[in-house]
């Protein structure tokens, strides 16, 4: 009576699981063939004959109702060798198991009821561990170890199974491979669920040791600027932090009285000015021409413009500076440096001044 009650309980549990899974789109059906090593309790049969172990083969049909639960029906043929006496004994095993897939992975715990028929029928319960090793979307290898308990004799028995299974398809709609922790490994294959978002994981979904190749304090998985200089301060993305600074370069050239011809040019200062223009290629320069006080305002204004244009053209011709980056402006005698009516003052006022300012980014040090 107890045996029938237990069998009924297992059946009700399986039917309940199947009923709760009807709304799921993750049901999978598979069929498989297997071989197994079976170790029988030595004193199970008649006193003068003991059977040690043997081989078996069989088949199973299973259904995965949800990512967590499934069941299977199994039939096996057994061939046991005698340990004492002679000969062997053959028989069958038939039964049903419930399967719980650990963390929705390919590893599972199973348990159920079996009827074993050798010299007589034996009612047994089994409990074991197994794994489905995916070869492709359809094919997988089955490995299991199990222990059996004989309700009549109270004897323990054991088996190890190796087989191959084929997935016939899915029921209830298209199966969606879920990736709950968004680590790129689907839940069915993820051995480390709930890994932190953004963490780098291996093929089993487990976090790899965080690396920081450029040692800027931001791990490679989040570093958007690899190989930043060691001394640079970086932001949350691993990129160097810059501050903006203004750099100014000036150029001064003097002229003879009533002349716009260039002479006695300081090549060093001109080269520094040109180098600055080339380094900061987005900058523009204003070339300002000036005259001394002697002469009319109109004459001095025209002379200062000629001087500015002469310097502009010199920079274009000799140094290939883009003319669009140079603006020539004349101020005549409106901005005298020295208002004295002396030769030295007039010489100082006959001049060219050129100014260029660039806003550059300077890396902030740690």
DSSP per residue, 96-128: EEEEEEGGGSSEEEEEEEEEEESSSEEEEEEEE
Secondary structure (3-state) at 225: coil
**Cα gap 234→122, rounded to integer Å:** 72
Q: pLDDT at position 45, please?
A: 67
**Are residues 291 and 163 part of one domain?**
no
**Are residues 104 and 15 part of one domain?**
yes
**Are residues 134 and 9 part of one domain?**
yes
Using the predicted structure, report yes or no on whether residue 237 has a pLDDT greater than 90: no
Q: pLDDT at position 10, please?
A: 45
Going by C-beta distance under 8 Å and a sequence separation of 6 or more, which residues neighbour residue 264?
A: 254
Instruction: Give the pLDDT confidence of 239-271 residue by residue, as tens digits.
Output: 877 666 656 666 777 777 777 777 767 788 888
For the chain, count helices (H), then strands (E): 4, 12
Domain of 98 in residue numbering reads as 2-171
**258, part of any domain:** yes
Number of domains the chain contains = 2
Worst-scoring range by mean pLDDT, 6-10, 175-179, 270-274?
6-10
Burial class (CB in 10 A: 0-12, 13-18, 19+), 204: exposed
Q: Which CATH number covers residue 269?
A: 3.30.1330.60
Q: Which CATH number covers residue 16?
A: 2.40.160.20
Q: Taking Cα atoms as reference points, which of 226, 178, 219 lies closest to residue 200?
A: 219
Whole-structure pTM value: 0.42
Angle between helix 297-319 and 267-279 (nearest 10): 70
Q: Taking Cα atoms as reference points, which of 52, 61, 64, 50 lies closest to residue 94?
A: 61
Using the predicted structure, report yes or no on whether residue 71 has a pLDDT greater than 90: yes
Q: Give the domain-ending residue among 171, 189, 215.
A: 171
- Contact of 255 with 352, CB cutoff 8 Å: yes
**295, part of any domain:** yes
- Contact of 75 with 56, CB cutoff 8 Å: no
- Contact of 335 with 290, CB cutoff 8 Å: yes
**Are residues 254 and 359 part of one domain?**
yes
Using the predicted structure, report yes or no on whether residue 169 has a pLDDT greater than 70: no
What strand order describes the sheet that includes 285-289?
A: 242-254, 351-363, 285-289, 326-330
CA-to-CA separations, 33 to 93, 147, 199, 223, 348, in angstroms, rounded: 14, 20, 40, 50, 105
- The string of DSSP letters for 298-322 reads HHHHHHHHHHHHHHHHHHHHHH---
Q: Give the domain-ending residue among 132, 154, 171.
A: 171
**219, part of any domain:** no
**157, part of any domain:** yes
Dihedral sign for Cα 113, 117, 123, 128, please.
negative
3-state helix, strand, coil in the chain (%, to 5): 20, 40, 40
Higher pLDDT, 66 or 364: 66
Instruction: Give the pLDDT confidence of 208-230 residue by residue, as tens digits.
Output: 766 777 778 787 778 888 888 87
Q: Give the domain-ending residue among 138, 171, 204.
A: 171
Using the predicted structure, report yes or no on whether residue 280 has a pLDDT greater than 50: yes
Strands 50-64 and 285-289: unpaired
Q: pLDDT at position 141, please?
A: 95
């Amino acid at each position: 009576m107890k045996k029938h009650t237990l069998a009924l309980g297992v059946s009700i549990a399986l039917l309940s699981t199947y009923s709760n899974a009807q709304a799921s789109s993750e049901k999978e059906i598979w069929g498989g063939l297997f071989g197994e090593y079976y170790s029988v309790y030595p004193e199970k049969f008649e006193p003068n004959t003991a059977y040690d172990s043997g081989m078996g083969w069989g088949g199973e049909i299973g259904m995965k109702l949800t990512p967590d639960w499934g069941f299977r029906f199994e039939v096996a043929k057994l061939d046991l060798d005698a340990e004492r006496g002679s000969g062997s004994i053959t028989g069958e095993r038939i039964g049903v198991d419930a399967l719980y897939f650990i963390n929705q992975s390919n590893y599972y715990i199973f348990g159920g009821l079996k009827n074993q028929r050798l010299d007589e029928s034996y009612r047994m319960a089994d409990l074991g561990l197994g794994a489905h090793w995916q070869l492709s979307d359809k094919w997988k290898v089955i490995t299991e170890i199990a222990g059996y308990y004989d309700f009549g004799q109270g004897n323990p028995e054991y088996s190890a199974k190796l087989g191959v299974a084929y997935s016939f398809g899915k029921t209830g709609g298209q199966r969606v491979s879920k990736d709950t922790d968004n680590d790129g490994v689907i839940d069915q294959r993820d051995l480390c669920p709930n890994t932190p978002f953004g963490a780098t994981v291996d093929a089993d979904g487990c976090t790899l040791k965080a690396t920081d190749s450029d040692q800027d304090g931001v791990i490679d998985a989040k570093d958007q600027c690899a190989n930043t200089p060691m001394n640079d301060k970086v932001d949350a993305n691993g990129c160097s932090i810059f501050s903006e600074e203004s750099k100014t370069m000036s150029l001064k050239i003097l002229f003879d009285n009533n002349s716009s011809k260039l002479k006695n040019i300081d090549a060093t200062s001109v080269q520094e000015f040109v180098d600055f223009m080339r380094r900061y290629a987005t900058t523009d320069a204003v070339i300002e021409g000036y005259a001394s006080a002697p002469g009319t305002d109109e004459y001095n204004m025209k002379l200062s413009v000629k001087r500015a244009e002469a310097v502009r053209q010199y920079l274009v011709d000799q140094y290939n500076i883009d003319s669009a980056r140079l603006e020539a402006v004349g101020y005549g005698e409106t901005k005298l440096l020295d208002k004295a009516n002396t030769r030295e003052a007039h010489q100082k006022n006959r001049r060219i001044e050129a100014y260029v300012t660039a806003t550059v980014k300077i890396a902030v040090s740690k």
